[in-house]
Structure 1
Amino acid sequence: MQTLKYVYGPIPSRRLGRSLGVSPIPKKTCNYSCVYCQLGRTNKMTNERQEFFKLEDIIAEFKDYLKHSDGFDVVTVVGEGEPTLYSRLGELVRTLKSLTTKPVAVITNGALLNDKKVQEDLMEADIVLPSVNAYDDTISKKIDRPYGRIKFEDILNGIIEFSHKYTGELWLEIMLLDGINDDKHSIEEYKKLLKKIKYTRLYLNTPVRPPAEVYINMVSKENMKYAVEELKGISIDMLSDGAFYSEIDDNHEAVLSLCKRHPMNQFELRSFLNSRKVSNIDEVIEEIEKDEKINVIDYKGIKTYRLK
């Protein structure tokens, strides 16, 4: 198989099972610079939709992948930035669906859901997973740090409007951060907001990988439990992880490919190498830690490997 540029995984997803990723966006290209982002700070802020990569190239790679494997549960358009910035998203999703019987999902920050063309594009997906991290403009600026003049009110109105049009599965996610949006007042505000949105599931998350900003912390178990009970949501932390997988034969290159989109902690890395029956795991890890393309971050005593 050729070196993969747009297709990666499958990656274990606690929501989606074995998720085969399709990335139509260059690294860190987004209209948010979220304080908790596991890829680090956004360095290509934009709110302009473009065909960053040729649709035909993405599809050709996906077709090539399918010749070798169908060991995945869902195709997820996500990648290293905000996928709704891809101007041919609707065509991409529609074509992916024509090539596989597996569901096609799109993970989005929701910032462009007030754009009618984006809504139309997302109608093609089986599952749409938007984030709703804020409940007002102040919290949005603290957590999402949106591009330019993006207003939270417009984002929310877009999510509400889309939710009442969309006929697929709408799975919302709220990222809870210690001391920012996990108090009782915030949970009450989310409760009011959620009443306006028509959704299938609500997931509650908190950073388990090194965030973009060092002052960001996970919420306490007590606060997560309170949020789960009050908002009738599912804590992602309570869902089980799967196993990482890569079609790339070289162990070092396989790890780099996975870490590019999905940072791995020390346990996931060792488990991944074990699954490939690597006999010299410690040596491979040592070489990975020496690789100048990799950042090794110690977060709460656990090493996480992230591509620079």
Structure 2
Amino acid sequence: MTHVYGVVPSRRLGRSLGVSTIPFKTCNYSCIYCQLGRTTNMTNTRTSFYPPGEIINQVRDFVNEKGDESFDVVTVVGEGEPTLYRPLDQLAEAIRKLTFKPLVLITNGSLLFDEDLRDEISGFDIVMPTLDAYDQESFRCINRPLGKLEYEEVYEGLVDFSRKFDGELWLEVMLVKGYNDDEESLMLLKERISRVKTERVYINVPARPPAEDGVKIPDIATLKLARELLGATSIENMPVSNFLSRESDAESTVIEIIKRHPMSQEDIESLLRSRFGPGSAEVFFEKLSSRGDVERCEYVGKIFYRYRSIL
């Protein structure tokens, strides 16, 4: 299992070295817009999916080989909900000894009411939770959480955590056309966000192929209104391609990235040609036809490739 992937270009963080803590599509949400597809392992139980030392050793190997000048941040993220992993504090403490770069956690924010989790992530520099919904109904429609999760408990956990966390909290709102982008929904989101102590608010859109058909990007006028109402920065544009990997062959290089981060055909071609030379991209795409765990998607006028689990 490869736990370290990238470096991946991020619209918010620059060059992000990803650290994955959980198995593919292990989450307590199954968001309609998820770029990795539907959740296949729904759980709300926090556990040690992998030994901390296994993950830490891979971070150490990357830093020793590439140097920490190759990335801007270390991001604990992955292919599901990373806060389902424990102990996150052991990972944070060990990574701090390997690099001085900021340590970031990207989370759906669902478990921030858990005091044990709060203690474990108190050492992160930046925590980036998501708030797409404004009530129980919108929560069920957009995020499709595990049955026992209730919107008010999740929301109040976010509010309380934001006021006690010593690092920076950057909030992200994923806007989906027809679900939470009308003016009434935006005003309700504004009211919810007003209670959260956050340094930044970002508006995101489903820029990569979503889990469900019919998920669409709001129009430009709607995004402009959302920015004004929420006091947010919009990050709907795709980041400039600037991927980096330490995998030794073209196939592994791409697969380990698209497990967590679907890539456009153009990005794959650029990465492989820069890393393995002319002709490597053509050979890779020929191999894809024999793989059952890679899905080719057409979305917003582009061709994307993403990983899918084979059950």
Q: TM-score range by the shorter chain?
A: over 0.9
Could you tell me which runs of 5 or more consecutive residues in structure 2 were left unpaired when the two chains were aligned. Answer: none
Quote the Cα distance in structure 1 between the aligned partners of 2:18 and 2:281. Answer: 28
Quote the Cα distance in structure 1 between the aligned partners of 2:299 and 2:224. Answer: 23
Partner of 2:93: 94
Quote the Cα distance in structure 2 between the aligned partners of 1:300 and 1:232. Answer: 27
Of 202-211 and 241-250, more deviation after overlay is shown by 241-250
Quote the Cα distance in structure 1 between the aligned partners of 2:301 and 2:232. Answer: 29
Partner of 2:10: 13
Alignment of 1:99-178 (within 5 A): 99-178=98-177
Contact 1:7/1:20 (CA < 8 Å) preserved in 2? yes
Name the TM-score, length of structure 1 as normaliser: 0.95
Quote the Cα distance in structure 1 between the aligned partners of 2:88 and 2:281. Answer: 41
Partner of 1:196: 195
Cα 1:217–1:57 change in 2 (3 A) is: same
Aligned residues: 305
**Is 1:62 aligned to 2:59, yes or no?**
yes
Secondary structure of the structure 2 residue equivalent to 1:149: coil
Alignment of 1:1-308 (within 5 A): 5-69=2-66, 70=68, 71-238=70-237, 240-276=239-275, 278-281=277-280, 283-292=282-291, 293-308=293-308
Contact 2:103/2:125 (CA < 8 Å) preserved in 1? yes
Offset at 1:282? 5.2
Measured on the aligned residues, the alpha-carbon RMSD in Å equals 1.4
Quote the Cα distance in structure 1 between the aligned partners of 2:52 and 2:116. Answer: 17
Contact 1:17/1:242 (CA < 8 Å) preserved in 2? no
State the one-letter code of the partner of 1:105: V
The percent of aligned pairs where both chains have the same amino acid is: 44
State the one-letter code of the partner of 1:221: I
State the one-letter code of the partner of 2:160: E
Quote the Cα distance in structure 2 between the aligned partners of 1:286 and 1:149. Answer: 42
Offset at 1:288? 4.4
Contact 2:44/2:84 (CA < 8 Å) preserved in 1? yes
Secondary structure of the structure 2 residue equivalent to 1:254: helix
Quote the Cα distance in structure 1 between the aligned partners of 2:307 and 2:197. Answer: 37
Secondary structure of the structure 2 residue equivalent to 1:261: coil
Quote the Cα distance in structure 1 between the aligned partners of 2:109 and 2:99. Answer: 26
State the one-letter code of the partner of 2:5: Y
Quote the Cα distance in structure 2 between the aligned partners of 1:52 and 1:216. Answer: 31
Name the TM-score, length of structure 2 as normaliser: 0.95
Offset at 1:268? 1.3
